[in-house]
Amino acid sequence: MVRNMDLLLIIAILQVCLLLCAAMSDIAARIIPNRICALLAVAAIARLPFSDPSQLMVSVATTALLFAMLFLLYSRGYLGGGDVKLLGAVAIGLSFIALLQLLTAISLAGGVVALLHLALRRLPRPTLPPVGSSFLRRVYAIERWRNLRRAPLPYGVAIAAGGIWALIIGANHVL
């Protein structure tokens, strides 16, 4: 029989894997698939019965408020739709303190992503990577090309990093 802590650990590992997939998809194509966000939301909802029942209403209210604010940023063009969906899915079931930790971690990770993006501008323009090139060389070439064309940042990477931080080290730590 699976104990509660074992089930929470399995759900958290699934969420970490889904966040890594979302980050990789955002880097590769600047798209965060709906199925990843939906699976993250289902996993977060599956964790709810194991949390404090009095926290449930606070969690629902803060997630709804966060989603409304993110939707406003999306409507003004500051965030992509995938970023809004991903952050909303990650925020489900978090306490207010854990949500603040999540947003702080996302902000810090977003700063790192932005600094890397700015540093990328200083590097030489890449040539097309030859067939059989390493993964990092191909990513560098693609990101540098996107950088030259002023493509948006892959902020899903920062959201995924913040989500992993909240799962592993945050107030709702499971791992």
Tell me the pLDDT band of 87, cut-offs 50, 70 and 90: very high
User: Does 59 or 66 have the greater pLDDT score?
Assistant: 66
Q: Is the Cβ–Cβ distance between 144 and 138 less than 8 Å? A: no
What pLDDT is recorded for position 1? 47
Asked whether the predicted pLDDT for residue 109 surpasses 70, the reply is yes
SS3 assignment for the chain: CCCHHHHHHHHHHHHHHHHHHHHHHHHHHCCCCHHHHHHHHHHHHHHHHHCCHHHHHHHHHHHHHHHHHHHHHHHCCCCCHHHHHHHHHHHCCCCHHHHHHHHHHHHHHHHHHHHHHHHHCCCCCCCCCCCCCCHHHHHHHHHHHHHHCCCCCCHHHHHHHHHHHHHHCCCCCCC
Tell me the pLDDT band of 61, cut-offs 50, 70 and 90: confident
Q: Which of 93, 100, 103, 104 is nearest to 59 (CA)?
A: 93
Tell me the pLDDT band of 170, cut-offs 50, 70 and 90: low
User: Does 128 or 158 have the greater pLDDT score?
Assistant: 158
Half-sphere exposure (Cβ direction) of 34: Cα atoms closer than 13 Å: 0
Q: Based on the number of CB atoms within 10 Å of its own CB, is 117 exposed (0-12), middle (13-18) or buried (19 or more)?
A: middle
Domain boundaries, the chain: 4-168
Tell me the pLDDT band of 114, cut-offs 50, 70 and 90: very high
Q: Which of 87, 90, 86, 92 is nearest to 34 (CA)?
A: 86
Q: What is the average pLDDT across 149-175?
A: 82
Tokens of 153: 């940042």
What is the overall mean pLDDT for the chain? 87
What pLDDT is recorded for position 82? 93
User: Does 137 or 2 have the greater pLDDT score?
Assistant: 137
What pLDDT is recorded for position 24? 93
Asked whether the predicted pLDDT for residue 161 surpasses 50, the reply is yes
Asked whether the predicted pLDDT for residue 99 surpasses 70, the reply is yes
CA distances from 24 to 4, 38, 115, 134, 172 (A): 30, 17, 19, 16, 25
Express each pLDDT in 124-147 by its tens digit: 877 777 788 888 888 888 888 888
Q: Is the Cβ–Cβ distance between 43 and 11 less than 8 Å? A: yes
Q: 30-39, 51-60, 88-97, 133-142: lowest mean pLDDT where?
A: 51-60
